[in-house]
Amino acid sequence: MSSEEMLYAQGAKIWVPHAEQVWESATLEESYRKGAGFLKICTESGSLKEVKLKADGSDLPPLRNPAILVGQNDLTTLSYLHEPGVLYNLRVRFCERQIIYTYCGIILVAINPYAEMPLYGPSIIRAYRGHAMGDLEPHIFALAEEAYTKLERENCNLSIIVSGESGAGKTVSAKYAMRYFAAVGGSESETQVERKVLASSPIMEAFGNAKTTRNDNSSRFGKFTKLLFRNQMGVMYLQGATMHTYLLEKSRVVYQAQGERNYHIFYQLCAARAKYPELVLDHQDKFEFLNMGGAPDIERVSDADQFNETVQAMTVLGFSIQQIADIVKILAGILHLGNIQVSKKFNEGSEEEDTDSCEIFHNDIHLQITGDLLRVSAEDLRRWLLMRKIESVNEYVLIPNSIEAAQAARDALAKHIYAKLFQYIVGVLNKSLNNGSKQCSFIGVLDIYGFETFEVNSFEQFCINYANEKLQQQFNQHVFKLEQEEYLKEGITWTMIDFYDNQPCIDLIESRLGVLDLLDEECRMPKGSDESWAGKLIGKCSKFPHFEKPRFGTTSFFIKHFSDTVEYDVNGFLEKNRDTVSKELTQVLSESNMSLVKQVMTLEEIDTLNVDTAKSSTLGGRVVISAGRKQQGKDTRRRVVPSKQHRKTVGSQFQESLASLISTLHATTPHYVRCIKPNDDKVAFKWETAKIIQQLRACGVLETVRISAAGFPSRWLYPDFYMRYQLLVYRSKLDKNDMKTSCRNIVMKWIPDEDKYRFGNTQIFFRAGQVAFLEQVRANLRKKYITIVQSVVRRFIYRRRFLRLQLVIGGIQRHARGFLARQRVQKMREARAGLILSKYARGWLCRRRFLRLRHSIAGIQTYARGMMARSKFHAMRDHYRAVQIQRFVRGALARRAYQKRRRNIIICQAAIRRFLARRQFKRLKAEAKTISHMENKYMGLENKIISMQQRIDELNRDNSNLKHKTSEISVLKMKLELKKTLEAEFKNVKAACQDKDKLIEALNKQLEAERDEKMQLLEENGHAQEDWISQKQTWRLENEELRRQIDEIIEMAKNAEVSQRTQEDRMMAEIDNRELNEAYQRAIKDKEVIENENYMLKEELSRLTAGSFSLHGRKASNASSQNEDDVGYASAKNTLDINRPPDLLSKNYAYNDSTSLVVKLRAILEEEKLKHKNLQEQYIKLASRHKPTEDSFRPACRPAGRGP
């Protein structure tokens, strides 16, 4: 069986790629066989998959490390050194154990926990002092102790390189490293030096750190701090420090992206504006340079408190009160400079805009404040913001600035002032930290920006990534060098290890006709632009494999860095590389009446990494003056102004500074700290795998692992290897006195391939995976040997146990038989005594059970009778209500059927009458057209007149009858008054009913009180019974007799009380029912009288109405007949003219008066009906309220139905 088949057996743990988690753990479902084309696996999520393999098995998935190696302090000690193993080990330590530090060879990996950790107190510093790296848990103090110990032992220069992306914790790690050096390298007489070293951090954070989208305290510059030590009696003491900075992000002063802030010092100054009223400061949102990002605050950070800490640190480091006041004025001047408004300018005499010039008003408040704070001429400042001077050979020309050019000049001046001020502050810090005495050696702490890639990458990101390329190259070379030195020291043969070399990428950037060279050349061109430079890049740099041109457009280019491919936008590259500022504006500031402004503006760029910083040297046509050296007098200072052609660009200066930094690092022994940002949400101990694996690839951790894995990553000392794996060979091949030979016999037996291991002088070196193979073999042998030992031991144990049991059982049986006999006799005695006791106990229990049962049955009967009575009452009530509902429903159905039948009959009668009337009308119409009819009509005219006179007389009589009816109205009004009195009596009855309700309620309350008293008596009776039972047995009969008498007395009182209450309730109910019935009978009689009267009125009104209608109908019929005659005979119209007498007209007027009277009577009648109906409904409600119900019977039935 090959080693692959043994390792990839069923149940083995492996790693497989995953889309979101990058790597996912899985288990083999079947053992691997050489030549197999796939593997069946089961992932952690429970899904079954098949992984395709090559025939030679070269693409087998990586194996998981044994459980004994999970969570190791050093990643290089893992048996399987690959990406998933490293990632899982870091995850276990960070998420499960909450350990933020892990070694990876010479690298310390620090993961930002985004939480306060109690790991940096004085007790922790004392714990790591004097311990070698690896003795304790990984820590930044362990790395610092390693460097300090090497400094003491070898008296050489060392460096600690802290790197990582923004927000990974680089600044904090560097701060704690310097704190450790200040603590262990101090003495009682030099506490001031330690204090100054620690006090420099808040000043640099205030002036050089800012809030970004990734970090609330991001360092926007590189910093290399040299901690200077001197050797005194073999002990290294901290003497001082110097600080060197690189590439301050000046563009942040005038522009911030959304969600970011300017440098902290501006916001701290605005928060403490009450202390400096002369600065005329306002809230931070009022300044253009501070409100661009829209995120002026940082959670859990007070800018006012931070400002106090900054001022206190500046005082500690030697800043005078006047210097601090002048620095604050310069900062306030920069803020007011950004608020100077540049407006449009119009041509004189017209409203046309002059696009080539602009205007700044003389009375601009911010312009005046800026001039006062910086103590310069506001008019000169305004003039050179609006104008620029172009020099020729013998003359110069003044050209007005456009709005954009004026704003750019203003922003360039602000950036220039801040950069010079930052340089001045660093120089003062260096003067304070370095007392000028001769130092022995130093430890450098490099806190530099990590690899950056954003949506839009500009000149700053290009320089940052260029620096990281150089540092990665230095790191790779150092790691490779240490690896080879280890092999040489052990005396083993080795071959050249292939590692990633980023020299081609560096050549692309800094070689001739590279990116920086072409950029400087374009900056020297008078009409150079970003677009033309981009075109030259595409034409000249396409030959480099790490350069890539964009698919569309020429405004960007790609560079393949060691960690990622980054797209750079060329817009602004030339302007940022030139870093030009108007010479006239700088001259205005140089003529300031403030000494600090004048001193700041005359500072020159310096090469801070030269070893001899105390000496001045000339670079590029200028005298370089060290900020750490005491400056000479004004008269003796020599300053060479560089020409425009020889002025260095920002890129070339950065390249030279970076080269000096790399040479310094090469001259030291470096130690590396790689800071990892676990998530973008700044959540404590949150793990984002994709982000972390990208950083591990970018910061060189995986490259270190790859270099280690390419050689012999697993290393064991001979004693350790012998103690762990001695059971893998026979004892005859082991020799404790010669462990190297014994270890050789062990390895050669199980690993036949000699290329998988090497024997060094003190250690054994193994290829990746070989230790895991030996662990698997060791586990199998241990399992086999343990099984054999267990079988022999179990046989011996069980045989000895059998013999011992056989000897003991004989004695136990003898004693047991005697014990059982005695026990049997005792049981017989106890059975006899128990029989006698149980006889009496059963009798007592039966009697008590009988009494309880009788009491329970009586109670059950009581509640059962009550329940049956209530159910019977409910049934009777439901039956009664159902009968009533049926009665009303049947009546309603019968009335509906009657109305429907009557309506149908009326319709039939109307139809028949209409038919007969039409037939008669047609007949009469036909007769009217005959001549004989006309003659008869004319002959009977006198008779008709007489009959009409008779009808008039009848109408007069009807009128007299109507007058008689009006007299009857008064009678109806009297009856109405009588009805109102009846209503008043009804209200009195209602009030009496309410009084009765109150009386009933009071009686119910009294009944409840008496019931409570009764229950209290029953409870007292129960207590008395319990007391009597506890008395002596001789008083039992007497107590039972007394209790029986008490029960009878209580029952009699109860029955008497119940009967009395029942009789009283019955009497009250009869009285109430009698009164209600009498009132109801009276109301019924009144209702019948009113109905009879209403009926008579209806009859009378119908009669009057019928008479009036019949009269009206006769008139209409006569009129119609006349009209018909007129239609047929036009000549008879004038001869038959009828003159109506005036008395007939008066009768018609009387008829109208009688009609209105009838209408009024009918309205009065309807009102009376409504009132009667309302009274009847109120009476029904009152009657139903006082109707006997279940609740009214319950108080009466309860006492009567309760049993003894």
The three-state DSSP-derived secondary structure of 26-85 is EEECCCCCCCCCEEEEEECCCCEEEEECCCCCCCCCCECCCHHHCCCCEHHHCCCCCHHH
Question: How much of the chain is helix, strand and coil, in % rounded to 5?
Answer: 60, 10, 30
Read off the tokens for 627. Answer: 């900020």
Report which of 594, 647, 638, 644 is spatially closest to residue 617, judged by C-alpha positions: 638
Distance of CA 802 to the CA centre of its chain: 69
Distances from the Cα of 1173 to the Cα of 237, 956, 977, 984, angstroms: 116, 39, 17, 16
Q: Which residues pair with 229 in a beta bridge?
A: 238, 441
Read off the tokens for 852. Answer: 């309880």
CA atoms within 13 Å, Cβ hemisphere of 18: 18
Q: How does 846-881 read in b/e, with b if 16+ C-beta sit within 10 Å? A: eeeeeeeeeeeeeeeeeeeebeebeeebeeeeeeee
Distances from the Cα of 1090 to the Cα of 530, 1104, 1159, angstroms: 113, 21, 19
- Taken as a whole, the chain contains a residue count of 1204
CA distance 263 to 414: 13
Torsion sign over Cα 1150, 1155, 1161, 1163: negative
Judged by DSSP in three states, 126 sits in helix
Read off the tokens for 804. Answer: 């011992």
Angle value at C-alpha 392, between 388 and 393, nearest 5 degrees = 150
Q: What is the pLDDT of residue 790?
A: 92
- DSSP assignment string, 924-980: HHHHHTSHHHHHHHHHTHHHHHHHHHHHHHHHHHHHHHHHHHHHHHHHHHHHHHHHH
Look at strands 158-163 and 13-18 and give their pairing.
unpaired
CA distance 245 to 423: 9
Distances from the Cα of 363 to the Cα of 135, 358, 1097, angstroms: 70, 15, 104
For the chain, report the end-to-end CA distance as a whole number of angstroms.
96
- DSSP assignment string, 92-122: IIIIIS---EEEETTEEEEE--SS--S--SH
Distance of CA 482 to the CA centre of its chain: 49
Order of strands across the sheet that contains 222-232: 101-104, 107-111, 669-676, 158-163, 441-447, 222-232, 235-246
Read off the tokens for 918. Answer: 């039409």
Read off the tokens for 116. Answer: 């306060």
Read off the tokens for 948. Answer: 């009409």
Over the chain (1204 residues), the average pLDDT of each successive run of 10 is: 72 84 86 80 85 78 82 81 86 90 87 88 89 86 89 85 82 86 65 72 90 82 86 78 84 87 93 90 90 85 91 89 92 92 79 80 89 90 86 76 88 91 91 74 84 81 86 78 72 64 85 87 83 87 87 84 85 83 86 89 65 34 29 36 55 85 85 88 86 78 67 75 84 82 85 80 76 78 89 92 91 91 92 92 93 93 94 94 94 94 94 92 82 64 74 82 79 83 85 85 85 82 72 70 76 73 68 65 69 67 53 38 36 37 41 52 68 68 53 42 38
Q: What is the pLDDT of residue 2?
A: 64
Residue 136 one-letter amino acid? L
707 neighbors 484 (Cβ within 8 angstroms): no
CA distance 252 to 609: 25
| Residues 6+ positions from 1068 with CB-CB distance below 8 Å | 996, 999, 1000
Judged by DSSP in three states, 706 sits in helix
Residue carrying the six token digits 């253009």:
288
CA distance 888 to 799: 102
- DSSP assignment string, 1104-1164: HHHHHHHHHHHHHHHHHHHHHHHHH-GGGTTTT-----HHHHHHHHHHHHHHHHHHHHHHH
| Residues 6+ positions from 181 with CB-CB distance below 8 Å | 144, 148, 197, 227, 238, 443
Cα radius of gyration (the chain):
59
Read off the tokens for 244. Answer: 């060197």
CA distance 493 to 502: 27
Judged by DSSP in three states, 13 sits in strand
- Backbone dihedral angles phi then psi of residue 39, each to the nearest 5 degrees: -125, 135
Residue 811 one-letter amino acid? G
- Give the global pTM: 0.58
Distances from the Cα of 477 to the Cα of 472, 489, 666, 939, angstroms: 9, 18, 10, 154
Q: Which residues pair with 104 in a beta bridge?
A: 107
- DSSP assignment string, 801-839: HHHHHHHHHHHHHHHHHHHHHHHHHHHHHHHHHHHHHHH
Describe the crossing of helices 303-316 and 321-338 by its angle, rounded to 10 degrees: 140
Give, for 230, the enclosing helix (H) or strand (E).
Answer: strand 222-232
106 neighbors 673 (Cβ within 8 angstroms): no
Q: What is the pLDDT of residue 576?
A: 83
Q: How does 615-648 read in b/e, with b if 16+ C-beta sit within 10 Å? A: ebeebeebebbbbbbeeeeeeeeeeeeeeeeebb
Report which of 561, 459, 565, 562 is spatially closest to residue 520, judged by C-alpha positions: 459
